Amino acid sequence: MTTTPAPRTSVHRSATLGLLGGALWTLLPLAWSAVRLEDHPTGTAAFVAVAASYWLFAVLPPALIIVGLTALRPTLGPGRAGVIGVVLATVGLGSMALGNGIEVASMSAGGGEVALGHALFLLGFLVSVLGGIVLGIVILRRRPDAPSRVAGLLLALALPLGIGMAVLGDIVAPGTDAGFWAAISVPTGIAWVLLGATLRSERHPVDAGFAPVS
C-alpha cells in the first residue's frame, strides 16, 4: 500500500479563507470611504446595508487572515521565529477585529465610536506590524516561490509602505479616511491574497498524515 498527498485539506480551506480575508482587507479603504453610516437615518435599509459593509470589510477580514495563518504555519518549518511571528500576528489581528467589532456594533446600534474599541484596534495594529516583520523575514527565508517572497516583503515593510500610502491618500483624497485605512490594511491584505493563492495551489497531506491508496 502506498500513500499520496490529498490536494484538498483543511489547510487548503484555511488558505482560501485567508485569501478572502486578504481581498476584503485590501478593499477596506474603498468600502469605508465610499459610504458613511452617519449619512443615513438609523434603521433604514441604506443604514443597514452600510452597517453590513462595515462588518464585512472592517471586522471579518482580520479574523479570516487568522484562519489563513493556520495554513501558513506548517510551511515555515521548525524554529521559534515562525511561531513568534504567527502568535504576534494572531494576537494583533484578533485585537484589531475585536476593536473594530466593538466600534461597528456601537455604530450599528445608532451610537458613536467607542474609545475602548479604538484603543484595542490601534494596539492590535502595532502588534500585528511586529508579527508581520517577523513573519515576512521567515517567509523570505523559508518559502522560495515568487508570490510568497513578494508577500514576505509586503509584510516586513508594511509600516513604511503604510506611511507612504497615508501621505498619498491625503494628497489624492483629502478630507477622507481612505489614506488611513489604506496604510493599515492594504499591504497586509495584498500579502494575504498572494499567500492564500499560493498555499491553495500546493498539495498538502490530510490532517491525519496521508490519504492511503491501495
pLDDT the model gives residue 204: 54
- Encoded amino acid at 73, one letter: R
Q: Tell me, yes or no, whether 3 lies in a domain.
A: no
pLDDT the model gives residue 33: 75
Residues in the chain predicted with pLDDT less than 70, given as ranges, are 1-8, 203-214
Please give the backbone phi and psi of residue 2, each rounded to the nearest 5 degrees, phi first: -110, 170
pLDDT the model gives residue 44: 86
Rounded CA separation 39/46 (Å):
9
pLDDT the model gives residue 211: 36
> Given phi > 0 = left and psi -120 to 50 = alpha, else beta, which region is 113?
beta
Residues in Cβ contact with 175 at an 8 Å cutoff, skipping those fewer than 6 apart: none
Are the C-beta atoms of residues 211 and 5 closer than 8 Å to each other? Answer: yes
Q: Tell me, yes or no, whether 124 lies in a domain.
A: yes
pLDDT the model gives residue 5: 44
Q: Which domain holds residue 156?
A: 9-200
- HSE-CB for 110 with a 13 A CA cutoff: 4
pLDDT the model gives residue 208: 34
The count of other CB atoms within 10 Å of the CB of residue 103 is 23
The count of other CB atoms within 10 Å of the CB of residue 6 is 17
Q: How far is CA 148 from the centre of its chain?
A: 15
Q: Tell me, yes or no, whether 210 lies in a domain.
A: no
Closest CA to 124 of 171, 149, 88, 80: 88
Rounded CA separation 75/85 (Å):
13
Q: Tell me, yes or no, whether 213 lies in a domain.
A: no
Are the C-beta atoms of residues 49 and 10 closer than 8 Å to each other? Answer: no
Q: Tell me, yes or no, whether 108 lies in a domain.
A: yes
How many domains would you assign to the chain?
A: 1
Q: Tell me, yes or no, whether 211 lies in a domain.
A: no
pLDDT the model gives residue 97: 97
Q: Tell me, yes or no, whether 127 lies in a domain.
A: yes
